[in-house]
Amino acid sequence: MRCPKCGEKSKVTKTIYKKEFTIRYRTCNNNKCKNRFKTMEQISTDWVYKSIVMRMKDMLKDVK
C-alpha cells in the first residue's frame, strides 16, 4: 500500500482482526515522511457504494 501523503510504500506495524473487518496500522517507508495511517479491510458481496460506506462508519465507531 502507498502512503496517502507522499506516495511511497508503507509497512504494516500492527494488525487488528475483528469479526467483520481487519484494521492495519501502517507507517510510510520514506524517512522524510514517516506518515502513520490506518486501513480497514472488509469482505463484501455487494458493491453498493453507499451501503458499504455506511457500514464502515458504523464499524469505526466501535474501534475508537
The list of the chain residues with pLDDT below 50 reads none
**pLDDT on residue 53:** 83
pTM for the full model? 0.65
**pLDDT on residue 61:** 77
Question: For 29-50, what is the HEC assignment?
Answer: CCCCCCCEEEEEECCCCCCCHH
DSSP 6-35: T--BEEEEEEEE-SS-EEEEEEES-TTT--
**pLDDT on residue 38:** 95
**pLDDT on residue 16:** 96
**pLDDT on residue 63:** 62
**pLDDT on residue 2:** 93
